[in-house]
Amino acid sequence: MSKALVVYGTGTGCTAEIAERIGATLAASGATVEVVPAKGAPVPAGYDAVLVGSGIRAGSWHQPVKEWVAKNAAALKGSKVAFFTACLTLGQDPTKTDEVRAYTDALIAETGVEPLDLGLFAGWNEPKKFSFIERTVLKMMKAPEGDFRDWKAIEAWAGEVAPKLGLG
């Protein structure tokens, strides 16, 4: 049985739920899956595939995820890896995939870890989940409120990426 590690970073819980859904989809395809936040993530050794994802804050992946990828870059370069990014921008305008992709491209350039696939997903703007400063910024940006995650698209991506990563 194949073994996958799903590592994520989140500020409000949005990406944690996406990571859990990805993990559940991979498990349904027959893989043994561990889903953990980057701060508590194990080294990637011993896993057949690693999926790493983050929400976006101020145009960047969450720092603990970036640090985990950088720290484990040598091992990840020799592994089957996929990245996923959750960003409210796609909830506002689904055509802005290039803009959202650029946030992940920065991590790829910094670490040299080239994923076999990249999932880009809309996030949420649930004001009660954000700090006062974040709510103020989102309000100034006129960001729409709501949960824009497309669970069918997230599950479809996880199902499509599983064979690329040798899972199932």
Distance (Å, whole) CA 168 – CA 161: 10
Residue 92 burial class via C-beta count within 10 angstroms: exposed 0-12, middle 13-18, buried 19 and up: middle
Q: What average pLDDT does the segment 81-90 reach?
A: 88
pLDDT digits (tens, 9 = 90+) for 123-167: 866 667 666 666 566 566 676 676 878 999 999 999 999 999 999
Alpha helices (H) along 6-60? 14-28
Distance (Å, whole) CA 164 – CA 146: 32
Q: 6 in helix, strand or coil?
A: strand
pLDDT at 96: 81
DSSP β-bridge partners for residue 5 = 34, 50
Number of C-beta neighbours around residue 134 at 10 A? 16
Q: Report strand pairing: 124-125 vs 146-147.
A: antiparallel
| Domain annotation for the chain: domains and CATH numbers | 3-158 (3.40.50.360)
Residue 122's identity, in one-letter code, is A
Is the model more confident about 131 or about 40?
Answer: 40
Among 11-20, 28-37, 158-167, the least confident range: 11-20
| Cα–Cα distance list, 12 to 2, 100, 116 (Å) | 30, 18, 27
pLDDT at 133: 65
pLDDT at 125: 62
Residue 71 burial class via C-beta count within 10 angstroms: exposed 0-12, middle 13-18, buried 19 and up: middle
Mean pLDDT estimate for the chain: 88
pLDDT at 91: 72
pLDDT at 124: 60
Q: What average pLDDT does the segment 25-49 reach?
A: 94
pLDDT digits (tens, 9 = 90+) for 42-76: 999 999 999 999 998 778 899 999 999 999 999 99
Give percent above pLDDT 70 in the chain. Answer: 85
Whole-structure pTM value? 0.87
